[in-house]
Copies of this chain bind each other. A is one copy, B any other.
Amino acid sequence: MARTRQLPENKRRIPRQARATETVAAILEGAAQVLEGGGLPAFTTNAVADRAGVSIGTLYQYFADKSALLRALAEREMTATLAAVGKALRGETDFTFEGRVRAIVRAIVNAFHGRQRARKAVVQAVMAQGMTVEMLGPIASFIAQAGEEPRPGLARLGPEQVFVLSRALMGAIRAAVLEEQPFLRSRAFEDELVRLVLSYLDALRAGTPPSSAGQTTAS
């Protein structure tokens, strides 16, 4: 069945000609550069179009509105990070569990390097809108699942456990990025992140509930 001019949620026009594909790439690149250069406040559609070397009209032929552009940029970053993590896992020679965890952690940290400011801005922007889960979700669950299966004696993690582990890890990394901590790419920081993951999984395997008391949480 011929789909008559597919219009996905993000884009207005599906690029058919080579020129169009280049244009989209140029716009995204321009967006990243603007973000890198001036942060979220500088991120205006006109500035992006300018930097990308296209007219504002062209930008709007490929992105329905400003937030669609931002979303597309965030997706691009996410995908790249995911790919980096996958690649790191495949290329890893240390097949111990710890080795795998370390590979993942390092890939993520590295992904946030270079264009750090743009990353920061993308993250900020994404948060400033409402779209947190969908974007951070994939990578987080990927981590959780990747770290899960090979561990002998480790029952499948519950949803809260996946959530806490992935968000804790990502939260620490993101904070280091946003706060521009100097130790971001240090071995010591990496060690602590690995420790965080491993100790939590170890505790889960030990199975000791943190408390047996039946206290309620209600305030």
List residues of chain A with CB under 8 Å of any chain B CB.
39-40, 94, 98, 102, 106, 109-110, 113, 124-125, 127-128, 130, 132-133, 136, 158-161, 163-165, 167-172, 174-176, 178-179, 181, 183, 185-196, 198-200, 202-204, 209-211, 213, 215-219
Contact = CB atoms under 8 A, between A and B. Distances in A.
Contact of A102 (B133, B176, B194, B211): B211
B160 A189 contact: yes
Contact of A200 (B159, B190, B199): B199
A97 B124 CA distance: 36
- Copies per assembly: 4
Q: Rank and list the top 5 A-B pairs by shortest CB-CB distance, nearest first.
A: A171-B171, A199-B203, A168-B168, A167-B175, A128-B128
Contacts of A171: 167-168, 170-172, 174-175
Contacts of A178: 127, 132
Between A110, A178, A183, A200, the greatest number of chain B beta carbons within 10 A of the residue's beta carbon is seen for A200
A119 B100 CA distance: 37
Contacts of A172: 163-164, 167-168, 171
Given A98-B211, A202-B199, A192 B219 contact: no
Nearest to A191: B210
Contacts of A174: 171
A188 B158 contact: yes
Given A164-B189, A187-B217, A199-B203, 12 more contacts: A109-B217, A110-B217, A127-B128, A127-B178, A132-B175, A133-B179, A159-B183, A167-B171, A171-B172, A194-B211, A195-B203, A196-B196
A107 to B, nearest CB: 9
